[in-house]
Chain A
Amino acid sequence: MTGDVPNDDMTPTDTATATALSRPSSRSSVRHADHLALLESHAIFVLREVAAESERPVLLFSGGKDSAVLLHLAVKAFRPGRFPFPIMHIDTGHNFPEVVAYRDARVAELSERLIVARVQDSIERGRVTDPGPGQSRNRLQATTLLDAISEHRFDAAIGGARRDEDKARAKERVLSFRDALGQWDPKRQRPELWHLYQGRVLPGEHVRAFPLSDWTELDIWQYIARENIELARIYFAHRRRVVERDGMLLALSEWVTPEPGELVEDTSVRFRTVGDATCTGAVRSQATTLREIIAEVATARTSERGATRADDRFSETAMEDRKREGYF
């Protein structure tokens, strides 16, 4: 496993991540109904509801922290049974190796089925145009995702997006309808009353389901600490060679090389999000434990995506525009 991930002394006693198919030992007391327990119960409810109402659901997994929480919740929702859906990774080809290693280890540990849909394949099939070496393939993922949904005839795609990430996402339903072209129409969303989630669609249409809709970045981190969920190492502070570009720290890799005049720094950083390596920025940090990360997240003055995602900086409505086209 990639993950002798540093957890310090507040690690809870339970061993959920280590246990793939059996239940851990019994715990008798009712957990206090704090906000995380309520969010957890609701997310499990959404996962079961989507699995029950859809013919062919799929769970989208990026290897990031939200995906890690989503997988953990799926374990809680469906064990001791198998997941009623495969796991699918939309692979831009611009990956942090630690994240791919984490993905493979986690899927193997769970013994669930993994589908990898590659942006490179979409490029080779002429579905999208390669933006060129070193350019972000983030936006191209929408085509690869929609093609995979259509190829596998998925009618529900479960994702880890959160409403606190972006102002367009703040508007989206927990179960969000996509038409036969995969488009989101934010002006004509279906009413979503109570927790009566309605996942039925006509052939060719699908829904996106977001069990973590009401979780904030801090909730995610606190839940990871509470449940002792393993993460890819790049979330913890480590030394890395970076360049500062457009106000972001980009990690040097085969796709990101220093441009003339750019200063290469070898410094301690961690990542707040995981995405296409060409447009995902690192933050300067010494936080090597969950406790230290949570202290940093709780006092951060820059939003998660604002700090680290070049893809959201095009315009006021960059995310809305991408979502309309079928992006996550």
Chain B
Amino acid sequence: MAPVEPPGASVATDGSGADLLRFAAIGSVDDGKSTLIGRLLFDTRQLFDDQLEAVSAASRRRGIGEMDLSLVTDGLRAEREQGITIDVAYRYAATPTRKYIIADCPGHLEYTANMATGASTADLALVVVDVTSGLREQTRRHTCIAALLGVDQLVVVANKMDLVDWDRDAYENVAQQMHALARRLSIESCTVVPISALHGDNVVDRSDAAPWYEGPTVLEALESAPAGGWEAVHGDHLGTGARLPVQWVLRHGGGRSYAGIVGGGPLRPGDEVVVLPGGRRTTVTGITTYDGSLDEAPVGMSVAVDLEEDFDVSRGDLIASVDEPPLVTSDLEATVCWFGSQPLRAGDRLRVKHTTRVAPARVIEVLSRFDVNDLTLVDATRLSDNEIGVVRLATGTPLVVDPYRTNRVTGSFVLVDENTNATLAACMVGSPPLAESHIHLVR
């Protein structure tokens, strides 16, 4: 491992050459997530002098020593007063080859929706486990939610190793349990690192305290993880044919182009496509951005598409390859993370936002609830706040979907309160990705 360079030791003027990894720090409250992120930023020298000074002054004021690194990310007044994390804090770090977007997620059960917010865009989850207490229910819940959200790389830290005198058995116990959990959730990549976030062992600098540990430090594990971005392949997320949810219609000189971010693909000029849910077929004649035309539009790129036929295409439509078309349906089964204060029940009316389409929806049936402790689906008729389950919904207009396991864009939607516009649920088309379950779509 090359020594960590201070930020900016060598940067390209136009920013070229760095890839991007988004990760979410998750796990139970008090296991040390914020301290770990603070440590990671401190030891990679991402913190400015005035920020350090502020943290140091705040630490002294609270009588908690010279430098409480958790204060780096806990930014709200209430968080500092209560010493907990309420909402996700986003932090940024860079090494010579990689930019990191870090979501420091809250650990409390009541802030699970905020944790899901941070994990929903992550390429990797950094799971923090307190080795003195082992896996808690929230550790399992967070790991389950991350897995449901399609995060397929875990870097787990067995934290507070200094409190167990770097006992190898304590580490192995956490490692074993996390590997079993990952297997059950169909996550192939799971690295477990023994650390002390408080003292900085094995975070950026390798520790002498655990000569028996030969694996990577936290930073090494992050640096070697496959990057996110539009070439990212997500494990068993198989990918689909080309998908472009139409966001905006650009008019130019009598013609029209359909703008959006590519949600499956790549998409190329000459591709035969179908515009759904209408079902009319046509050919892509050109793909452009403001900077010119493209031979290929990869997933994650904002583009505008020209079509051969001039028929009515509008926001909410989906342009898809004819070879592997998505499913058009008003009746779907989805895995739902429910965040409403009132339970979700059959008959409830809500609004769906799926890609660029909005539709009214009704709950047909709550099929099951996911038990995060024994990782099974159990019969249920309702989902309470922060529970996960499988639900059948009917939508007022058809949606164009893929199973979430194959496409995170066309496979995801949210449920919204029709009266207050509050977002109440994160939903993934299909069943949870448990090792022996199958994707099941109601047709």
Q: How many A-B residue pairs have CB under 8 A?
A: 244
Whether the pair A163, B8 counts as a contact (CB closer than 8 A) is: no
Q: How many residues of A contact B (CB 8 A)?
A: 84
* Set of chain A residues within 8 Å of B92, measured between Cβ atoms: 163-164, 214, 216
Tell me the B24-79 residues at the A interface (CB within 8 Å).
48-51, 54, 58, 73, 75-78
Q: What's the minimum C-beta distance from A11 to chain B, rounded to whole angstroms? A: 10
Most chain-B Cβ atoms within 10 A of its Cβ — which of A42, A191, A298? A191
Indicate if A125 sits at the interface (CB-CB under 8 A): no
| Chain A residues in 8 Å Cβ range of B439 | none
Q: Which residues of A contact B297 (CB under 8 A)?
A: 30
Contacts of A295 in B (CB 8 A): 8, 11
Q: Measured between alpha carbons, how far is A196 from B149 in the docked complex, in Å?
A: 14
**CB closest chain-A residue, reference B352:** A196
By a CB distance below 8 angstroms, the chain A residues around B76 are: 167-168, 171, 186-187, 317, 320
Q: Which residue of A lies closest to B115 (CB)?
A: A191
Interface segment, one of A45-53, A142-150, A231-239, A263-271: A45-53
Contacts A34-B17, A316-B54, A316-B58 given; does A76 touch B289 at CB 8 Å? yes
User: With A41-B300, A191-B116 in contact, is A33–B90 under 8 Å at CB?
Assistant: no
Is residue A14 within 8 Å, beta carbon to beta carbon, of the partner chain?
Answer: yes
Is the CB of B214 closer than 8 A to any CB of chain A?
no
- Segment touching A, from B152-160, B317-325, B371-379, B418-426: B418-426
Q: Is A251 an interface residue (CB 8 A)?
A: no
Q: Closest chain B residue to A43 by CB distance?
A: B302
Interface 9-mer from A98-106, A112-120, A300-308: A300-308
**A200-214 near B? 1/0 per residue, CB < 8 Å:** 111000000000011
Given A81-B250, A222-B14, A320-B76: A187 and B290 interface contact (C-beta under 8 Å): no
Contacts of A202 in B (CB 8 A): 420-421
Residues of B with C-beta under 8 A to A320: 75-77
Q: Is the CB of A191 within 8 A of B426?
A: yes
- Residues from chain A with a CB closer than 8 A to the CB of B164 are none
Report Cα–Cα, A310/B16, bound state, in Å: 34
CB distance B14 to A302 under 8 Å? Answer: no
**Are A301's CB and B48's CB within 8 A?**
yes
**Residue pair A35, B19 in contact (C-beta under 8 Å):** yes
A167 to B54, CA, bound (A): 11
**A residues near B80, Cβ cutoff 8 Å:** 316-317
The answer to whether A186 and B250 have CB atoms under 8 Å apart is: no
Q: Cβ of A170 < 8 Å from any Cβ of B?
A: yes
Query: Which of A187, A194, A226 is in CB contact (< 8 Å) with B120?
Result: A194
Cα of A163 to Cα of B116 in the assembled complex, Å: 19
Inter-chain contact B247/A49, CB cutoff 8 Å: yes
List residues of chain B with CB within 8 A of the CB of A89.
none
Known interface pairs A33-B300, A80-B250, A189-B87; A225-B421 also in contact (CB < 8 Å): no
In the complex, per-residue mask of B225-258: 1 if CB is within 8 Å of any chain A CB, else 0: 0001111000000000000000110111100000
Q: Is B125 an interface residue (CB 8 A)?
A: no
- Stretch of A19-27, A58-66, A131-139 at the chain-chain interface: A19-27
B285 within 8 A of A: no
Q: Is B167 interfacial (CB-CB < 8 Å)?
A: no
Interface centre among B247, B354, B356, B420 (most CB of A within 10 A): B247
List residues of chain B with CB within 8 A of the CB of A307. 50
A317–chain B nearest beta-carbon distance, Å: 5
Given contacts A189-B87, A302-B49, 12 further A-B contacts (CB under 8 A): A24-B292, A26-B292, A33-B231, A33-B301, A76-B290, A79-B290, A167-B89, A196-B354, A218-B8, A298-B8, A298-B11, A320-B77
Chosen A-B contacts, 24 in total, with CB atoms closer than 8 Å, are A12-B14, A16-B291, A31-B291, A36-B14, A38-B229, A40-B302, A41-B301, A45-B260, A48-B247, A52-B356, A77-B248, A170-B91, A171-B89, A193-B426, A194-B120, A195-B121, A195-B261, A196-B412, A200-B416, A214-B101, A216-B92, A222-B15, A298-B11, A316-B77
Chain A positions within 8 Å of B, measured between CB atoms, are 10, 12, 14, 16, 23-38, 40-42, 44-45, 48-49, 51-52, 75-81, 163-164, 166-168, 170-171, 173, 186-187, 189-196, 198, 200-202, 213-214, 216, 218-219, 222-223, 225-226, 290-291, 294-295, 297-303, 306-307, 316-317, 320-321
